[in-house]
Amino acid sequence: MKIKPLLILLLFILALGFLSPSCYYDKEETLYPFKKCDSVNVTYSQTVVPILSANCYVCHSTGNQQSSIVLDTYGGVKEVALNGKLIPSIEQTGPFPMPKSGSKLDPCSIAKLRKWVNDGAPQN
Ligand code: HEC
């Protein structure tokens, strides 16, 4: 008859484990990737330049113009934005997925660039 209290204790510990909220490892950013993404207030200088400089300048700058694409000047970015090459390249749906041999941009960065292009690629 000594086993019963132990069994109850064991069940109690198990129940505690199931009820404990610390057992949830769901990350907010993984569940809601767009929740904290401000893809509305987007400007060339504050939004577009930092994304392109971090991911694209290494191959597409005035000093290293791979495929004659220059992304470190407004004129160069505007050209690929408006000729329809920029968005398919970063969404990796076109013939040349970018960044070449790198990992795809995060969904928030892609959403921001898409918004800026849809706005008409303004120099703001
Ligand atoms: C490792 C070098 C490298 C990086 C990094 C890179 N590119 Fe490219 N990019 C190329 C090369 C090379 C081409 C020519 C096409 C090819 O060979 O894939 C190209 C072509 C392009 C084109 C023209 C596609 C077309 O349809 O003609 C665009 C637009 C472009 N890149 C945008 C970007 C953007 C935006 C980024 C950053 C997110 C980026 N690239 C990062 C090397 C790179």
Distances (CA, A) of 99 to 12, 18, 80, 89: 53, 44, 14, 8
Task: Specify the pTM.
Answer: 0.79
Sequence-ordered list of residues with C-beta below 8 angstroms from that of 99, at least 6 positions apart, any chain: 55, 56, 59, 105
Give the helix/strand (H/E) hosting 61.
Answer: strand 60-61
35-69: pLDDT as tens digits:
689 999 999 999 999 999 999 999 999 999 999 99
Q: Whose CA is nearest to atom 14 of ligand 1?
A: 67
Sequence-ordered list of residues with C-beta below 8 angstroms from that of 29, at least 6 positions apart, any chain: 35, 36
Other C-beta atoms closer than 10 Å to the C-beta of 86 total 26
- Residue 66 beta carbon below 6 angstroms from any ligand 1 atom: yes
Ligand 1 pocket test, pick from 87, 89, 109, 110 with the greatest ligand atom count within 8 Å of Cβ, gives: 89
